[in-house]
Amino acid sequence: MMRDRRFRGIRMQSQIRVAVIGGSGARFATALVLEQGVVTDTPWGRPSGPVKSLCMGEHRILWLARHGEPHTIAPHRVNYRANIHALHASGATHVIALNTVGGICTEAVPGSLWLPDQIVDYTSGRESSFHDGALLPLEHQEFADPYDAGLRGVLARAAAELDITVLPRGVYGCTQGPRLETAAEIRRMQRDGCDLVGMTGMPEAALARESGLPYASLSMVVNPAAGLSAEAITLEAILREAEGCMVRALRVLERAVDLLAQRSG
Q: Is residue 5 part of a domain?
A: no
Residue 4 lies in a domain: no
The per-residue pLDDT for 26 is: 61
240: left (phi over 0), alpha (psi -120 to 50) or beta: alpha
Encode pLDDT of 19-55 as tens digits. 999 876 565 544 566 667 777 889 999 999 999 988 8
Q: Is residue 226 included in any domain, yes or no?
A: yes
- Which tens digit of pLDDT belongs to each residue from 75-117? 999 999 999 999 999 999 999 999 999 999 999 999 999 999 9
CATH of the domain at 157: 3.40.50.1580
- The answer to whether residue 131 sits within a structural domain is yes
- How confident is the model at residue 84, as a pLDDT? 98
Tally of helices (H runs) and strands (E runs) in the chain:
6, 11
- Give residue 227's domain range: 14-264
Please indicate, yes or no, if residue 254 is contained in any of the structural domains. Answer: yes
CA distance 214 to 17: 11
Domain annotation covers residue 117:
yes
pLDDT(10) > 70: no
CA-wise closest residue to 49 among 103, 90, 13: 90
pLDDT in tens, 121-161: 999 999 999 998 878 888 888 999 999 999 999 999 999 99
Which residues neighbour 77 within 8 Å (Cβ) at sequence distance 6 or greater? none
30 inside domain = yes
| Domain tally, the chain | 1
The total of other beta-carbon atoms located within 10 Å of residue 178's CB is 12
Domain membership of residue 8 (yes or no) is no
